[in-house]
């Protein structure tokens, strides 16, 4: 009896690593696309987007002027995204969420470097 072999197969952990790598690349591209977008407030579907871009521009200016460190910029960015996504949050849970997500962002040097690069580009207009 002959056993047919389909060739080597990937393990689940290898497949997960491939998916994670692909996801982080697409998230980086999506982030870069979000920061690169410019236009008038009439181009954007809501005033919230315009406010977000204004806040990002202020953050970029602070970073460029040396008023904010990379870590501070990362934490402020996290705060802006949380506010954009979930609205103005108050209380202990909101503070904890901001701290945890901010720490995760700071622990990813590639993200911090990309964020700093994009904010510098934004500040130069």
Return the sign of the alpha-carbon dihedral for residues 42, 44, 48, 52.
negative
* Better-predicted residue by pLDDT, 46 or 72: 72
Span 43-69, average pLDDT: 80
In residues, how long is the chain? 125
What is the model's pLDDT at position 24? 58
Name the residue with tokens 């696309």.
33
Q: Mean pLDDT in the chain?
A: 75
pTM of this structure? 0.55
């Amino acid at each position: 009896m002959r056993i047919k072999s389909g060739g080597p197969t990937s393990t689940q952990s290898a497949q997960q690593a491939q998916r994670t790598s692909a996801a982080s690349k697409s998230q980086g591209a999506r982030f870069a696309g979000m920061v690169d977008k410019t236009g008038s407030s009439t181009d954007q579907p809501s005033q919230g987007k315009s406010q977000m871009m204004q806040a990002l521009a202020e953050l970029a200016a602070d970073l460029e002027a040396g008023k904010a460190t990379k870590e501070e910029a990362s934490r402020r960015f996290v705060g802006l995204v949380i506010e954009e996504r979930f609205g103005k949050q108050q209380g202990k849970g909101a503070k904890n969420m901001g701290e945890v997500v901010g720490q995760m962002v700071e622990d990813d040097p590639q993200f911090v470097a990309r964020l700093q690069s994009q904010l510098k580009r934004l500040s130069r207009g």
